[in-house]
Structure 1
Amino acid sequence: MNTVRKIDPLSSVSDIVNNDYRTAEVFRKHGIEYCCAGKFPLQMILESQDLDVAAIIAELELSIHPIGISHALPFENWDTGFLIDYIVNIHHAYLKKALPDTKEQLEKFVEGHYKKFPGLTELALVFKSLTLEMLPHLQHEEEIIFPYIRQISHAFHNKASYASLLVRTLRKPVENLMHHEHDSINKVLAQMRQLTNSYTPPEHCCTNHRVIYSKLLEIDTDLAQHMHLENTVLFPRAIEMEKKLLFL
């Protein structure tokens, strides 16, 4: 059973963010500085800006509410269509928001800190390349790959007469995606891990630096699970169906 974590209105904004980086998004939304100028108590800052203290605290507590997905979930037993819906509505929806938002935050941060931390410039470029690669990748999956997998799944389970023609015409796009595009994404993630020392912030760095590294780790973790579901469950299933359909 999850325990609701409470936000102390007398805690400083910086301390709140240092305790849980996810609160930073709420502060950004309301234009509240949480880094170097965030040393004052939350209640004092909210009242000085004529913001609703109770409402903001409720938003902060919601942002840190624990939400866990059990690794014991039987993904391999899920219906193909349901698994695709899960990937799109959980992982794709998250990345479509997190990637551009984090890219913008990282680039703004680098502008003021690249002299002290020269490696940040390369990190920003690598993350930009990830964003530019992932967004079309997600669109390609949703518009081409996933509808194709739904088609071959339907054809396979219904022993449709057009099944083998369908696979031959599209030339096995699933296998190509798994072996080429995902390899490219994994290489970019490896670069990010190397540049950030596995997302370990430097000693004595500011709060915003820690927030950005935590957000990068969150994206990395989500992508790892996302590609695991595709590479070990969904795509091998689709490839196996393709092979069998060729002989129908």
Structure 2
Amino acid sequence: MNTMPFTETSLVRDIVNELPKSSDLFKSYRIDFCCGGNRPVAEAAAERNVNMETLMAELAEVYKNSVNEPIDLEVWTNTDSQTLINHVIDKYHRPLEEELSMLSPYVTKVARVHGDSHPELIRMHDLFYELKKELLEHTAKEEATVFPMLLKLAEAEGAEREEMMKEIQELEKEHDHAGAILKELRDITSDFVPPIDACGTYRLVYKRLEMLEGETFMHVHLENNILFPRYL
């Protein structure tokens, strides 16, 4: 069992640094984690009349959902396709949709506020929104058509099987393109290392982009290297 490492005396900024997705929770309560983050969470909550017990319970929930269980790839290699597909949808598609939605306003704000002095942020903004559009279309297509086709493929033959092969190859090309966007994001952000003068939101965006990269790579690995080869 993972015990949350934060208490009421933890500094808001330290919590966000360790647990980037906590920024969404603080934002919902209008607790400033950026410029006003250098103080205990209890003090920040009291100023906004936020119930501390509720806040800590919600923070514990965010922590629990953010702690990745060790990934035993052998388990997924040996499991049936329906179970693997359900895992991809529940653990990667749904969290991906949520993260792309929650991260968008931060990306927009950082590019707008700091883009003049850091032009790479304008490119970061454009790449992020290109990636968002592609991934959302990609996951929707997988769930609506490709995954159901895969599960029927055991009995498929002839033209139907050829059509499925084309669909899988198309998905793999889309994975490659998402990977190329992530590579460019990593390049232009200097490996997601913010400049010395970066504010809290700026740092948060880089940290969450790096987390998004890691989750996307594992998501693609499960499909490209474990699921799809069963049918090719």
Q: TM above 0.5, one fold?
A: yes
Matched, 1:235 2:228: yes
TM superposition shift of 1:165:
4.3
Larger gyration radius, structure 1 or structure 2: 1
**Conservation of the 8 A alpha-carbon contact between 2:76 and 2:84:** yes
**Taking every aligned residue pair, what percent have the same amino acid on both sides?**
25
The match for 2:15 is 16
Q: Which residue of 2 aligns with 1:133?
A: 134
Distance in 1 of aligned mates of 2:144 and 2:2: 40
- Distance (Å, rounded) in 1 between the aligned partners of 2:71 and 2:163: 39
Q: Tell me the TM-score normalised to structure 1 length.
A: 0.85
* TM-score of the pair, normalised by structure 2: 0.91
Structure 1 residue 163: deviation in Å? 3.0
| Distance in 1, Cα, partners of 2:115 & 2:14 | 25
CA pair 112-169 structure 1, distance change in 2 beyond 3 A = closer
Give the structure 2 partner of residue 56 of structure 1: 55
1:146 CA displacement: 0.6
Distance 1:141 1:51, change over 3 A: same
Cα separation, 2, equivalents of 1:47 and 1:56: 11
Q: Which residue number in structure 2 is paired with residue 92 of structure 1?
A: 93
**Can you give the 5+ residue segments of structure 1 that lack an aligned partner in the other structure?**
156-161, 240-248
Asked if the contact 1:26/1:60 (under 8 Å) is kept, the reply is: yes
1:43 aligns with 2:37: no
Query: Does the CA contact (< 8 Å) of 1:11 and 1:41 recur in 2?
Result: yes
The structural deviation recorded for 1:15 is: 2.8
Are 2:146 and 2:167, in contact at CA under 8 Å, matched by a contact in 1? Answer: yes
Question: 2:178 maps to what in 1?
Answer: 185
Deviation string, structure 1 residues 159-205 (Cα, Å, up to 9, x no partner):
xxx63342145563212322x21221111111111011221222242
Structure 2 unaligned residues grouped into runs of 5+: none
Shift of 1:34: 0.5
Q: CA deviation at 1:216?
A: 0.6
In the alignment, the residues of structure 2 paired with residue 20 and residue 14 of structure 1 have an alpha-carbon distance, to the nearest angstrom, of 10
Q: Which of 1 and 2 has higher RCO (CA within 8 Å, sep 6+)? A: 1
Cα distance, 1:117 vs structure 2: 1.9
Contact 2:25 / 2:59 at 8 angstroms: preserved in 1? yes
What is the alpha-carbon root mean square deviation over aligned residues?
1.9
